[in-house]
Structure 1
Amino acid sequence: MKIDKETLQKLAHLSRLELDHTKEDTYIKDLEEVLTWVEKLNELDTEGVEPLTNMSFEVNAFRNDEVSNTIEHDRALKNAPDKDEDYFKVPKVLE
């Protein structure tokens, strides 16, 4: 695929890149090589090949969601640096 300077500048703008104008010819050559390689991949016969959705064949180990040891309300607030009756008090982080 042939890339011209206008296409390169448009790609740079869309990618929010600032390209060195003295190296535009090098960038064009590199892009053309990448696109030629991608076109070569399109020649592969992928009929009957399932799409890859994950690189690992490991399966998640799920566990039952069961209630276990809980902490009482008073005990949870016991060592809080600052509290207001039933709640932790924390510094304001949003204005």
Structure 2
Amino acid sequence: MICFRGALESILLLALWIGFSWLLRGTMETAAAASAQDMPAPGWHVTFGIISALAGIMAIVLGLTEVVRAIMMRAEMGRRAPAPAAQRRPLFHRPHPQH
């Protein structure tokens, strides 16, 4: 439900979800390959685990960067388009349609 609230929440939720899942998968893959003696081709599993963990970290950082950029852009647009005080909307809070 958070994902459908707005574009900013969707980007954050998707990036964090993908990033944390890749980070977790990479960590688990690396740990499994390092601890299981009978696993075939453990070097490939360790390599895949490290790449997945790094991709997860990158997705988390990218998602957070996009959120910061969106907030900065919204604040800048609010400053560039002055409106009478009665017509201005808050930068970060939108009233829910049911209220």
TM-score, normalised on structure 2? Answer: 0.29
Relative contact order, higher structure (CA 8 A, sep 6+): 2
More strand by share: 1
Which of the pair has more CA radius of gyration? Answer: 1
